[in-house]
């Protein structure tokens, strides 16, 4: 029996009559069968491959057969924009079978939320942070709302797994599992990912249901790819504008500043140009999405905000400024095109940074070989453990350490944390007044209230740090977006200019009390300095493929002459060195360069290993180690490499203590300050280092061969 035949007659008739469908796609048949059989599932399909319907149709089937008391199905998305984008679509599917849906996030009015609480919809769309708000709100009857919750659909599950937000989501799901009387069925939707079985295990949590990965055979598609090198941002923006004229395109950029710069240079060329990134006002982003979806001569210049499944209609072209850091991002972005019959999936990499040419080629070649990154699932997520403990004290007023541990130890992201370590964390938080204990019950301490209690504990609703934002508006009151405080602090009234929303603005006045920046239009702005201070890592496999690009003698048909010239120059510079056996060490006077192409985390681990083993000063990036100090030559460097490759080097407690003592004091989480020093350092270590991967990679050098 087909999946479609198993649907209730009401749903079958609605699909045929309202949607005009005569059959389901393979992914919908396979996923529907698994979900109707009660299994947890990870459903894989490319963008616009039908994943949403693959999960929602069987979910609605269950609601039709047995109407829930309260919310029966949760649909969770990583960003509000995706919820807003899916609201009408999922609302149509629910309404056509006589059910209701409701979207709950911070932009929804209080009156609408109160109406939902009085009469809950069967299908609720929300984010993890909004779920946290609901659980913590004393005004919401959480047991009434979720006592019959049965199924949770997590869209873009790969964006959650292995992250603090993913750990938070799983914690919230496990808290909801206690409220509901059901074994919550979990369904994750994802584009292609390298380790779906591992993500399924993570997603399953404490559920006792069987699980399955739904990964239907892929139909090989023709792809039109290009990698070009241009001299400037102005040149690549002009090239994109010329090709995009009369068509619909997305132009992905790796930073907000580049997004603004490209959009600014594309304007005035007889086409609509929109900007889409996290600091553009919500109304502006929505207007861009709506106008773009109904236009035919338009380009949205965006960051990764349009990578996560937001539907802006059929596209003709995708441009990429320089290169993303992962094959997964490249595939997601390219998957925006080639949906219509007779069209071809395409991406053109327009590079103004020569090194991005190598990265783009590596991503394309890995994708052609069928490789895509796996998600590194974590089991010692300290910041979220702190967050959830504080959230439980707020939810219940006071909670025992025993009850807290019983609940939190259920979460897969805390699985490798021992009870004794949890107790040590609690004792530290009590000493530092983040927790207060009386008669065996833990409540929020005065320091936690000072740090996280602002705006009715707004800081506690989300696990990620929310920078202090200033609203940017015109003197007429038009909302343009926001700027982070560290940028605003450098603005000078009537002098400073910057780009936002693809246009240049001059600062009229800054109000630190009202947290506003009032601006007027300027002829051309100066790019603001967005971005963080921590290093951005490329993965091992991507860097190793870049090494191979330099080592091999291949002429890639999709690479233009200027880009190929850069590759040729790199081959002339490093090709012979990289083809030799052993470590590719290059002497530059008294400075050694080890061209590892091992990625940021392994190279940073090696940096500290060299400092411990030889006392040298080392600078690391994704591709090389620059080594300075006394007595450096080929032999001493190779001897130090051999020392690090020796069995037991990285397990030596003295080495580990020394390395941890040298780590920079990065603040990667606002909850890091609640942790004992050793656990706080572990948070930095997890981001910056890969000791296990480094030791494994170095084994090749210990055997006298190149890795």
Alpha helices in 224-313 (DSSP H): 233-244, 256-266, 282-293
Looking at CATH, the fold of the domain delimited by 223-368 is given as Rossmann fold (3.40.50)
Q: Do domains 3-214 and 223-368 have the same CATH topology?
A: yes
Residue with tokens 């996560």: 308
Q: In what order do the strands lie in the sheet with 497-500?
A: 479-484, 469-474, 516-521, 503-511, 497-500
Percent of the chain scoring above 90 in pLDDT: 69
Q: What is the pLDDT of residue 464?
A: 62
Question: Is 276 within 8 Å of 305 (Cβ atoms)?
Answer: yes
Nearest CA to 484 out of 501, 470, 494, 472 is that of: 470
Q: Which residues pair with 592 in a beta bridge?
A: 587, 627
193 or 596: which leads in pLDDT: 596
> Predicted confidence band at 79 (pLDDT cuts at 50, 70, 90)?
confident
Alpha carbon 541 to chain centroid, angstroms: 19
- Token couple for 460: 């506690």
The architecture (CATH level 2) of 3-214 comes to 3-Layer(aba) Sandwich (3.40)
Residue 528: predicted pLDDT: 42
Q: Which of 30-34, 93-97, 249-253 has the lowest mean pLDDT?
A: 249-253
pLDDT, the chain, mean: 89
**pTM score, whole prediction:** 0.86
CA 696 to chain CA mean position, Å: 27
What angle do the packed helices 256-266 and 233-244 form, to 10 degrees? 60
For residue 269, the tally of other CB atoms under 10 A from its CB is 15
522 near 505, Cβ under 8 Å?
A: yes
Please report which confidence band the pLDDT of residue 279 belongs to, taking 50, 70 and 90 as the band edges.
Answer: low
The string of pLDDT tens digits covering residues 155-191 is 999 989 999 999 999 999 999 999 998 999 999 999 8
Average pLDDT over residues 525-540: 55
Mean pLDDT of 482-510: 74
pLDDT at 704 over 70: no
* In the chain, domain spans: 3-214, 223-368, 382-460, 469-521, 580-702
d(CA 347, CA 337): 8
Does the structure show a pLDDT above 50 at 317? yes
Does the pLDDT at position 567 exceed 50? yes
Number of residues that this document lists for the chain: 707
Q: What's the whole-number mean pLDDT along residues 518-543?
A: 66
Q: Are strands 503-511 and 497-500 parallel, antiparallel or unpaired?
A: antiparallel
Q: Given pLDDT bands bounded at 50, 70 and 90, which one contains residue 502?
A: low
What is the structure's pLDDT at 486?
56
Nearest to 323 by CA among 406, 235, 229: 229
In 3D space, the residue among 637, 538, 631, 547 whose CA is nearest the CA of residue 586 turns out to be 637
286-292 long-range contacts (CB < 8 A, ≥24 apart) are 286/84, 289/81, 289/85, 292/248
- What does the pLDDT read at residue 389? 97
pLDDT in tens, 393-438: 999 999 999 999 999 999 999 999 999 999 999 999 999 999 999 9
Q: Which residue has the higher pLDDT, 255 or 2?
A: 2
In the block, tokens 């941002």 appear at 233
- CATH class of the domain comprising 382-460: mainly alpha
Is 60 exceeded by the pLDDT of residue 532?
A: no
Sheet with 123-126, side-by-side order of all strands: 101-104, 123-126, 73-76, 151-154, 185-190, 40-44, 211-214
Rounded-to-integer distance, Cα 379 and Cα 280, Å = 35
From residue 480, how far is each of 48, 281, 505, 516 by CA, in Å? Answer: 31, 5, 10, 11
**What DSSP state is assigned to residue 673?**
G
């Amino acid at each position: 029996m087909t999946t479609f035949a198993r649907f209730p007659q009401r749903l079958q008739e609605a699909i045929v009559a309202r949607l005009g469908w005569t059959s389901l796609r393979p992914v919908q048949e396979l996923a529907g069968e698994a979900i109707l059989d009660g299994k947890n599932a990870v459903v894989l399909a490319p963008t616009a491959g039908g994943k949403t319907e693959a999960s929602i149709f069987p979910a609605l089937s269950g609601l039709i057969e047995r109407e829930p008391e309260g919310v029966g199905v949760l649909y969770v998305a990583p960003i509000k924009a995706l919820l807003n984008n899916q609201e009408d679509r999922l609302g149509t599917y629910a309404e056509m079978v006589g059910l209701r849906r409701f979207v709950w996030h911070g932009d929804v009015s209080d009156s609408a939320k109160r109406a939902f609480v009085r009469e809950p919809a069967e299908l609720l769309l929300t984010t993890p942070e909004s779920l946290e708000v609901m659980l913590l709100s004393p005004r919401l009857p959480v047991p009434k709302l979720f006592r019959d919750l049965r199924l949770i659909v997590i869209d873009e599950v790969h964006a959650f797994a292995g992250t603090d937000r993913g750990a938070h989501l799983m914690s919230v799901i496990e808290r909801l599992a206690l409220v509901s009387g059901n074994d919550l069925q979990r369904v994750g939707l994802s584009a292609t990912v390298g380790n779906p079985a591992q993500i399924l295990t993570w997603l399953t949590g404490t559920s006792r249901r069987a699980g399955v990965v739904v990964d239907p055979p892929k139909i090989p598609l023709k792809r039109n790819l290009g990698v070009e090198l241009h001299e400037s941002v102005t040149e690549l923006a002009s090239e994109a504008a010329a090709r995009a004229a009369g068509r619909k395109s997305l132009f992905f950029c790796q930073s907000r500043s580049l997004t603004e710069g490209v959009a600014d240079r594309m304007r005035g060329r007889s086409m609509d140009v929109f900007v889409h990134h996290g600091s553009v006002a919500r109304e502006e982003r929505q207007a861009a999405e709506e106008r773009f979806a109904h236009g035919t001569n338009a380009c949205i210049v965006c960051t990764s905000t349009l990578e996560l499944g937001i539907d802006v209609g059929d596209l003709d072209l995708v441009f990429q400024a320089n290169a993303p850091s992962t094959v997964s991002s490249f595939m997601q972005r390219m998957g925006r095109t080639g949906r219509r019959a007779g069209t071809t999936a395409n991406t053109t990499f327009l590079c103004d940074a020569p090194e991005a040419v190598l990265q783009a080629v590596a991503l394309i070649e890995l994708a052609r070989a069928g490789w895509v990154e796996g998600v590194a699932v974590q089991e010692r997520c300290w910041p979220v453990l702190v967050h959830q403990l504080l959230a439980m004290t707020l939810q219940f007023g006071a909670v025992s350490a025993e009850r807290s541990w019983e609940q939190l130890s259920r979460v897969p992201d805390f699985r490798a944390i021992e009870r004794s370590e949890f107790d040590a964390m609690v004792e530290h938080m009590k000493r530092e007044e983040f927790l207060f204990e009386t008669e065996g019950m833990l409540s929020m301490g005065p320091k936690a209230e000072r740090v996280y209690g602002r705006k009715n504990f707004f800081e506690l609703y989300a696990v990620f740090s929310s920078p202090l934002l200033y609203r940017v508006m015109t003197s007429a009151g038009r909302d343009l977006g926001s700027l982070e405080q560290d940028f605003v602090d450098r603005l000078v009234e009537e002098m400073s200019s910057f780009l936002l929303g693809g246009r240049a603005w001059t600062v009229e006045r800054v109000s630190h009390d009202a947290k506003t920046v009032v601006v007027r239009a300027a002829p051309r702005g100066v790019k603001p300095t967005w971005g963080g201070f921590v290093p951005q890592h490329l993965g091992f496999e991507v860097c190793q493929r870049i090494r191979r690009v330099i080592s091999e003698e291949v002429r890639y048909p999709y690479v233009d002459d200027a880009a190929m010239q850069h590759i040729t120059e790199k081959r002339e510079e490093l090709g012979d060195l990289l083809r030799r056996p052993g470590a590719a060490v290059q002497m530059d006077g008294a400075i050694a360069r080890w061209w590892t192409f091992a990625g940021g985390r392994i190279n940073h681990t090696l940096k500290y290993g060299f400092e411990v083993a030889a006392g040298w000063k080392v600078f690391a990036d994704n591709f090389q180690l620059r080594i300075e100090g006394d007595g450096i030559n080929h032999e001493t460097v190779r001897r130090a490499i051999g020392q690090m490759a020796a069995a037991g080097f990285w397990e030596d407690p003295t080495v580990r203590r020394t390395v941890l003592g040298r780590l920079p004091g990065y603040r990667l989480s606002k909850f890091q300050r609640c942790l004992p020093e050793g656990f706080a350092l572990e948070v930095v270590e997890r981001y910056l280092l890969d000791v296990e991967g480094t030791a494994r990679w170095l084994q090749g050098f210990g055997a006298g061969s190149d890795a």
